[in-house]
Amino acid sequence: MKRGKYKASTKPQKGAAKNEYLPRAVEITKIRDLSSDVKHYTLKFKDGKPFEYKPGQFVQVSIFGVGEAPISITSTHERGDDLEIAIRRVGSLTNAIHTLKEGDELFIRGPYGNSFPWEAGKGKDILFIAGGIGLLPLRSVMNAVFHHRKDYGKIWILYGAKSPQECVYADELARWGKLDNVEVLQTVDSPTAEWKGGVGVVTTLFEKIEFDPEKTISYLCGPPIMIKFTNITLEEKKMQPDNIITTMEMHMKCGIGKCGHCLVGHKYCCTDGPVFTFAELKALGAEE
C-alpha cells in the first residue's frame, strides 16, 4: 500500500514503561472544567522520570479496581513538562475520575500510537477542523504549531459543537483568534440568544474562508460522520488526500495491538495509527 506523504513514525517514545502493561502513578496537580461533562487534568509523574511523547499520541488511564481507558494527550512538550489530558464523563471509569480532586492519584501507561506530522507541514498554511471533543486531541498539535508560529503561514481553526455550553477550550479559542494571521470560526447546532457565531454543521464554515489547496495542510478530528463529510468537502475543494490528516483515536482499546478491537482494514489503529491521512483511509476502505 502506498503510504501518505505525511505518515508519521510509530517508533516507541523515550519515557514509556519497559513493561507495556505496567502503569506509572501520577498526581493530579490541576483540574479545570471545560464544559458540564468534560474536565481538563494537569498531571505530574510521581517517580520524577521523564515522559516523552508527540502530538497525537494517547495514554491508557486507570484507577485500580475501577478500570482503564485510552485517553488522548492534549498537551505538547513545547509548552512545558506537565502531561495534560481531558476526559468526558461517559461511564463508570470516567465518572470515577471526575470525582477526584487535586492531589489525588491516577495511573498512566504509554504513550502509544504514532503522531501528527506537524513538522512536515512547515512553510504551509494550516487548517484545523474540529467537532465537539475532537478539539481535545487536536489541541496537542495546535499548541506545537503555535509554539513554532513563524514556521507556518495562515492558520484557520474551524470548530463546531452541539451548543455553546458544549464548546471546549473556549478561552483558548478566543486567545488563538487574536493572534496574527489566525482566523477562528465557530458554529453550533443549537444556539442560545447570546450566541454570536455560526449555526449549523462545521462544514458550513468553509463558505467563509478561502485557502489554496496546493499550499495547505488540514488536521481534523471529530465524530465519524463529521470526519466523513469534511473529507469529502476538502476533496471537492481540490485538497490532496495526502494532505488531509485525521486521528482515529475513537477506535482505541488496549493500545498495544493485542485485543484486535481497533482493526481498520488490515491496520491496527493503536499501533499503525491513530493518525492517518485520508489517502491511507481510502486504501484501507475506511473513508466512510
- 173 in a structural domain: yes
Domain C-terminal end among 68, 86, 112 = 112
Per-residue pLDDT tens for 122-151? 999 999 999 999 999 999 999 999 999 999
User: Are residues 194 and 52 part of one domain?
Assistant: no
- Residues contacting 207, CB < 8 A, separation 6+: none
User: Are residues 169 and 40 part of one domain?
Assistant: no
CATH code for position 202 = 3.40.50.80
Rounded Cα distance, 94 and 71, in Å: 10
Q: How many domains does the chain have?
A: 2
Task: Determine contact, residues 39/32, Cβ cutoff 8 Å.
Answer: yes
Domain C-terminal end among 112, 128, 150 = 112
Task: Determine contact, residues 278/241, Cβ cutoff 8 Å.
Answer: yes
Which of 202, 83, 70, 194 is CA-nearest to residue 135?
A: 202
Per-residue pLDDT tens for 203-243? 999 999 999 999 999 999 999 899 999 999 999 999 999 99
Whole-structure pTM value: 0.89
